[in-house]
Amino acid sequence: MAITAALVKELRERTGSGMMECKKALVETNGDIEQAVENMRKAGMAKADKKASRTAADGVVVAGNTGTGVVMLEVNCETDFVAKGDDFGGFVDAVLAALSENRVDSVEALNDVAIAGGTVDEVRRGLIAKIGENISIRRFEYVDGDVVGVYSHGGRIIAAAAISGGEVELARDIAMHITASTPLYITQNDIDQDYIAKEKEILTEQAASSGKPAEIIEKMIQGRLNKQLNEVTLYGQPFVKDPDQTIEKLVKAAGVDVTAMSRYAVGEGIEVEETD
C-alpha cells in the first residue's frame, strides 16, 4: 500500500510524533494506520519506562479550585525548557482539572483517573515518549477552608492559606508571606513535643558553659527557645508586608484564624547528580 502524505499527516495528528517516525511506522505496517498507532504507543511506553530512572527536578507547582478550597500540585520534568512548553503545560492543566473533579488520596490513584487521551499515567508516559524527558507527578495536597487564598511566585513557589472567615485578600497575603518565609507550622501548639524537647536539650548544653546561675540559664534557654520556635511558626513570624506586626496579630485583628496552609517549591528535596 502506498504511504501517502495524507496518511502520514493523520498519524502525526493522532500520535504527536515526527514525520519520519510516522512514515517508518506506516511502512512497517504496510499502511495500516491502526496497527501503526498501536505499535507506536507500545514503543513510546517502552521509551517512557527507560526514562523513568532519570532525575526530574524541574517543572511547575500550581493550584486549582475545588468545591471546598484548592488543590496544590507539583509536576516535574528534567529541564526548564520543557517546563515552559505547551505540551507539558497542557498535561499539567489536565491533571489539575482531574484533581479538582476527582478527590483522590494518592498519586497511584490519580494515575488511574481518565483524562483526554487515556488515563493520567498513559498520557504521562506518552508525553515522555514524545518530548524525550522523564516526567513525574510528584505530589499534591488539598487545602480546604472557609476562605482560601493562593499566591504563586513565578510558577516556582506556590502557597495556599485557609482562614476561618474574613476576606480572600487576607488569605492571599498570608499565602504570599508563606512563600517568602517558609513556616513549618501554624502555631507552637502544632510543633511535635519531641522536637521541642530536643531543641531545649541542645540549648541547655550550650548555656551550661556560661557560668551563670541556674535560674538565669533557665530564662536564657526559654527565651532562645521561644525565639527559635517563633521563627518556624507562621503566627510567630513578622508579616512580610508589615514587619512591625506578627501574623498572629494580623489575623487576630481581623477576627480569624489560619486553619490550614501548604507551600510547594519546584524540586525541593530532590537530589540532583552533579556532572562535569
Query: Structural domain of residue 116, as residue ranges?
Result: 55-144
> Is 128 a domain residue?
yes
Residue 107 confidence (pLDDT) above 90: yes
CB of 109 closer than 8 Å to CB of 39? no
Confidence of residue 276 (pLDDT cuts 50, 70, 90): very low
Instruction: Supply the mean pLDDT for the chain.
Output: 88
The candidate with the shortest Cα–Cα distance to 76, out of 276, 265, 273, is: 265
> Is 157 a domain residue?
no
67 and 45 in one domain? no
Residue by residue, DSSP assigns 232-271 as HBTTTSEETTEEEEEHHHHHHHHT--EEEEEEEETTTT--
Residue 31 confidence (pLDDT) above 80: yes
CB of 8 closer than 8 Å to CB of 19? yes
Q: Which of 144, 169, 196 is the last residue of a domain?
A: 144
3-state secondary structure of 115: strand
Q: What's residue 185's pLDDT?
A: 96
Q: What's residue 274's pLDDT?
A: 57
22 and 68 in one domain? no
**Percentage with pLDDT > 70 across the chain:** 90
38 and 110 in one domain? no
136 and 70 in one domain? yes
Whichever domain contains 136, its CATH number is 3.30.479.20
CB of 25 closer than 8 Å to CB of 39? yes
76 and 113 in one domain? yes
Q: What's residue 42's pLDDT?
A: 65
> Is 135 a domain residue?
yes
> Is 173 a domain residue?
no
Mean pLDDT score, 70-86: 95
Q: Residues 110-157: pLDDT tens digits?
A: 999 999 999 999 999 889 888 888 899 999 999 999 999 999 998 899
> Is 258 a domain residue?
no
Q: Structurally, how many domains does the chain consist of?
A: 3
75 and 41 in one domain? no
Q: Residues 215-245: pLDDT tens digits?
A: 777 788 888 888 888 999 999 999 999 999 9
Q: What is the largest CA-CA distance in the chain?
A: 96
39 and 75 in one domain? no
Q: What is the pTM of this model?
A: 0.77
62 and 39 in one domain? no
> Is 158 a domain residue?
no
Q: Bigger pLDDT: 15 or 22?
A: 22
120 and 86 in one domain? yes
Q: Which of 144, 178, 211 is the last residue of a domain?
A: 144
170: Cβ–Cβ under 8 A, 6 or more apart, which residues? 147, 149, 163, 250, 251, 254, 256
> Is 109 a domain residue?
yes
> Is 201 a domain residue?
yes
**Percentage with pLDDT > 90 across the chain:** 57
39 and 73 in one domain? no
Whichever domain contains 25, its CATH number is 1.10.8.10
76 and 43 in one domain? no
Residue 45 confidence (pLDDT) above 80: no
129 and 90 in one domain? yes
Q: Bigger pLDDT: 173 or 4?
A: 173
